[in-house]
Amino acid sequence: MKQAMGISSSDFDYLRQLIYTHSAVVLDGDKTYLAELYLQSIAESAGFATISSFIAYLQHQPFNHLHTQTIEALVTNETSFFRDTAPFEALKKSFLPELIQKRKIERSLNIWCAACSNGQEPYSIAILIREHFPLLTDWSINIIASDFSSKALNRARQGRYNQLEIKRGLSQQLRAKYFSPVDNEWQINDKIRQMVEFQQINLIHSWSALPSIDIIFLRNVLIYFDIPTKKALLGKVKEQLRVDGYLFLGSGETTFNLDESFERVQFDKSICYKLHST
């Protein structure tokens, strides 16, 4: 039986702490209504009559799949194809051509989407490469896409999008070329899907499985972290990025006042970052 559900401030504090410990994401204090909305169905399908009894359970049990589901439900995974347009234009017109020239002996490029959500971002890069850089067909192009959320990664690996998602950022022409309709949804073609390697990486843990990277997309995730976490992650980016590589952040994010090893590079409306040359 459905009862009125609600989240007390102490329950919300517990959720904030749970999410912070496992992802470093700082949940806004005014997001109780969202937490209620997202947790209601998890609590119900796990057999709890109220959100508070569900949270009491979480508090007293060892970490299990319900904690994971709770965290993944409350961390924002908003994304879209070719999000913000400008970074992808800059990649196409400036940064990829430059790096292709620099890597013409190695014939290899490593690109990392460090918080890839449901996959639209790495697939946008794969589509862009296939559309505009036919000469890379016989290069080793590694697009690594990672996220800490297994729910997001499962969806990303599947590469299937609903009508709303497919319309966000993708032209009809690209949709027709790279997706097929399946059960009222759109399935990405295998050729594009196979260009992306998905890995589960929690940004606050080790990145040791990764090679050195030429282009890092770390977009729309730093905003959810506190300053010490942002600084720590930018310090790790510095180690992971090749000396002449590029870092793309979200439009509301910057390295400024956080890590002075990076300099801003602007191309048209897009800003990205590279390491200061020593």
Ligand X SMILES: C[S@@+](CC[C@H](N)C(=O)[O-])C[C@H]1O[C@@H](n2cnc3c(N)ncnc32)[C@H](O)[C@@H]1O
**Residues within the interface to ligand X (CB under 6 A):** 23-25, 75-79, 83, 115, 117, 121, 147-149, 152, 202-204, 219-221, 250
Nearer to ligand X, 5 or 24 (CB): 24
What type of residue is 232? A
Is 179 or 217 the residue whose CB approaches ligand X more closely? Answer: 217
Minimum distance from CB of 225 to ligand X (Å)?
Answer: 8
Q: Which residues of 88-104 are buried (b: 16+ CB within 10 A; e: fewer)?
A: bbbbeebbbeebbeebe
The widest CA-to-CA distance across the chain, in whole angstroms, is 66
Nearer to ligand X, 25 or 96 (CB): 25
Q: Buried b vs exposed e over 14-45: b needs ≥16 C-beta within 10 Å? A: bbbebbbebbbbebeeebbeebeebbbebbee
Q: How far is the CB of 220 from ligand X (least distance, A)?
A: 4
According to DSSP, the residues that pair with 185 across neighbouring strands are 182
Beta bridge partners of 199: 146
Choose between 23 and 69: whose C-beta lies nearer to ligand X: 23
Residues facing 197 on adjacent strands: 144
Min dist CB 184 to ligand X, Å, is 24
Classify residue 110 by its DSSP letter: E
Q: Let me know: does 164 contact 124? Beta carbons within 8 Å.
A: no
- Report H helices in 24-169: 32-45, 51-60, 65-74, 86-90, 96-102, 120-132, 150-158, 163-167
Give 90 or 221: the residue with its C-beta nearer to ligand X.
221
Query: Least distance (Å) from ligand X to the CB of residue 119?
Result: 9
Choose between 93 and 250: whose C-beta lies nearer to ligand X. 250
DSSP state of 257: T
Minimum CB distance to ligand X, residue 199 (Å)? 11
User: Cβ 37 to ligand X, closest distance in Å?
Assistant: 17
